[in-house]
Structure 1
């Protein structure tokens, strides 16, 4: 009779062959399966009815051509994706990413993570993800509009407020969501506001949605620190990135009394020993769409670095909020040596497996992205609730709902880890807590 370890290993090897050339997807599945060995050893019924195999296979994978015309009249062709991974808990929910690195493997990794992230929120939403290898950087508003209209001309066939509800992600902000929604409305002849989230406030959007992922990451970090007798008040914090998630993580951390000592973008990183001027950073990145060097030019005490790493800074807390696999094992060793005690992932899988192992071995308290990054999708689901009831909530009420959800996610992750004799292992706790809710729904609904 084969052991649980052997069964999981055999399945994972089949998955590698079946999904060749998709390393990010392999990495995401491997992390979850490692946690599920513990569940299968204790609750054997989760091995029945091909549950693990079905969980790792998307319900639907859509790939399509996106032709568009630039301002000079040249035709370009990009590739669009939507992976509808699991709808056991509700309609597919997950963002759209526009970035040159986007391919099927990355979209599958993001969609797979989304299943558990959405489950952890406690809200009735399934997991999905999408995007394109289109790069909005350097494009005019008119070019971005024409691309979004072409992209939505195909995507609109596959989405709906009871089917699949996309949102934004890297490269897809308020401008892109506006163009996408306009084309959807034109194509469908319906003002179906619940079909996209992250909309403008005057046409179905929700207060706090812009801030939600960054705020949520900080709320969960604060809960994790309280669990160990610490607080963000007076702490030094590193935040990688300077996009939407990073900006609002910086803002909330400083509101709670922390000093953010550094942030970054793809061109380099900035040391800010006296803290970050959030209004200036927002103006540079969101309004002017410039590099972090523009921030340094206008800020006293900030210094720009094109070499080394933002993870070389000394701090108490690190919040990787840029992109996948940005923080490796060497970076993790440096962070530990420089005094970091807490790490929470504001991005999707920004820490490599080697980095996570370093944090575990050195006693650093680590919150994975599927827990710490869930604030954005949680508030998207709150936007869906407001759309369904034709209602609009105040900033304070929505922010309080977000904080409650993030507190509950941390508590469920911590309690589940303790239940399976992995106290303070928040990776295992989040994976198992997210898995069990989805798995119970799948088993109840039959083999489909």
Structure 2
């Protein structure tokens, strides 16, 4: 399959296919080859016009999308993204990744993704509410608790989920769990905001334990994190809780570096300011008390953190796709990184992945986003379960279930890699890249055979 007009989707497709072909899966089970051309085409793509009124009383028009990619394991499940870069290539890549990510959680969820090229930055609450109502007016007929359950993503946080849910409820006269990431008083789950970041760290915790035969943990590790949104914030907080030192965070305009470690108080300042769409540069300048003296940080405009952090043990790309280049990967390896796990979807370019995979014999271990960041959608699945039962579990219950899911996800990736992609180098760690892709693919493929989608 060659799709030059859909580069992001092509990259995600190539990653899966190369991982499968560079293993013994098709040798041991040749029937699985039949699945690839079927699973790679969405079951349905919905595109619609979103016309809405801005604060000046003028009509603005955006493109809306929902890619319902695969429903063999359950209702379509995947976020809505509001960002000016949104197009079908990006949503198809995200939806394709979501199929296998959701499979790795062990929960009953298919894969989908959606969103709009609407940019919420600089918009008033009233404009965002009117846009969400117009967007849901078009989307409502295609979703449902047993059909398709969207969630948030970039540009769609708790405020937007609230507006979207309220619009759906009024249009359909139906209070059901048709969105996840809801408010705690109306069907949301505890730990959902923290889930992707926490889950990422729980996954890496298992990587560190396995690589060191249980002798090491996050304690004393220097951890570089990109991004400063939900995933990065909670990953950083969990790393600090486990005894690690967070040396960086970033946004689209630059990065902050702290050799002594970013503090919990600084993360709280960033979290509050990011809701108002402030940049890290503005936050550092305006929150003088939190970012001065012994807690001062270095702000670097126009750069990502990877080449600026110095010696580092763990790297967690948690911003957006393709945020680690091949050259940056080389710098990280030279800086001593041993564990790289993606909090973002497809956070590393193919060149970067090749660098990390080539360094496995020297003890560098890379985990793709479809495994390492599946904690967010896992807790979305737990939110769906709570909605179905009309109950709410405690934070401890949800966190325990999340940790169990991430542990089982890691073990599935590890064991599948050993079974189907054993390294020729006896000293090399198994490829979690191959393990994650193969394990997720097998689960979806078996369901497609069982249901007659492939025969």
TM-score band by shorter chain is over 0.9
Alignment match of 1:323 (pick from 317, 320, 337): 320
Counterpart mapping for 1:287-436 below 5 A: 288-297=276-285, 298=287, 299-300=291-292, 301-312=296-307, 313-314=309-310, 315-363=312-360, 364-420=364-420, 421-422=422-423, 424-436=430-442
SS at match of 1:157: helix
Matched residue pairs, number? 428
Alignment match of 1:281 (pick from 270, 278, 294): 270
**Distance in 2 between residues matched to 1:367 and 1:198, nearest whole Å:** 25
**Distance in 1 between residues matched to 2:453 and 2:91, nearest whole Å:** 25
Quote how far apart the aligned CAs of 1:296 are: 2.0
**Distance in 1 between residues matched to 2:355 and 2:396, nearest whole Å:** 38
Partner of 1:171: 155
SS at match of 1:46: helix
Structure 1 pair 307/135, CA: closer, same or farther in 2 (3 Å)? closer
Quote how far apart the aligned CAs of 1:322 are: 0.4
**Distance in 2 between residues matched to 1:309 and 1:56, nearest whole Å:** 32
Quote how far apart the aligned CAs of 1:54 are: 0.8
Poorly superposed stretches of 4+, deviation over 3 Å: none
Quote how far apart the aligned CAs of 1:339 are: 1.4
Contact 1:296–1:303, Cα closer than 8 Å, also in 2: no
Quote how far apart the aligned CAs of 1:385 are: 0.4
Quote how far apart the aligned CAs of 1:279 are: 1.6
SS at match of 1:116: helix
| Residue 201 (str. 1) matches residue 184 (str. 2) | yes
| Residue 447 (str. 1) matches residue 450 (str. 2) | no
Alignment match of 2:239 (pick from 253, 258, 270): 253
Give the stretch that moved more between structures: 84-93 or 309-318: 309-318
Query: Any unmatched runs of 5+ in structure 1?
Result: 1-14
Q: Could you list the per-position Cα deviations for residues 332-372 of structure 1 after superposition, in whole angstroms to 9, with x for gaps in the alignment?
A: 01111111111000000010000000011122200100000
Contact 1:344–1:368, Cα closer than 8 Å, also in 2: yes
**Distance in 2 between residues matched to 1:278 and 1:391, nearest whole Å:** 32
Contact 2:76–2:110, Cα closer than 8 Å, also in 1: yes
TM-score using structure 1 length: 0.94
Partner of 1:11: none
Query: Any unmatched runs of 5+ in structure 2?
Result: 424-428
Contact 2:84–2:119, Cα closer than 8 Å, also in 1: yes
| Residue 67 (str. 1) matches residue 55 (str. 2) | no
SS at match of 1:402: helix
Q: Could you list the per-position Cα deviations for residues 7-62 of structure 1 after superposition, in whole angstroms to 9, with x for gaps in the alignment?
A: xxxxxxxx21xx44000000000010012222112211213xx4211110100000
Partner of 1:241: 227
SS at match of 2:12: helix
Contact 2:129–2:160, Cα closer than 8 Å, also in 1: yes
Contact 1:215–1:252, Cα closer than 8 Å, also in 2: yes
Partner of 2:101: 117
Give the stretch that moved more between structures: 246-255 or 296-305: 296-305
Quote how far apart the aligned CAs of 1:294 are: 3.2
Give the stretch that moved more between structures: 276-285 or 169-178: 276-285
Partner of 1:87: 71
TM-score using structure 2 length: 0.92
**Distance in 2 between residues matched to 1:359 and 1:447, nearest whole Å:** 36
SS at match of 2:150: strand
Quote how far apart the aligned CAs of 1:183 are: 0.5
SS at match of 1:250: helix
Partner of 1:98: 82
SS at match of 1:156: helix
SS at match of 2:281: helix
Partner of 1:10: none
**Distance in 1 between residues matched to 2:174 and 2:48, nearest whole Å:** 23
| Residue 154 (str. 1) matches residue 141 (str. 2) | no
Contact 2:253–2:303, Cα closer than 8 Å, also in 1: no
**Distance in 1 between residues matched to 2:89 and 2:163, nearest whole Å:** 26
Alignment match of 1:28 (pick from 12, 15, 40): 12
Quote how far apart the aligned CAs of 1:69 are: 1.0
Contact 1:61–1:83, Cα closer than 8 Å, also in 2: yes
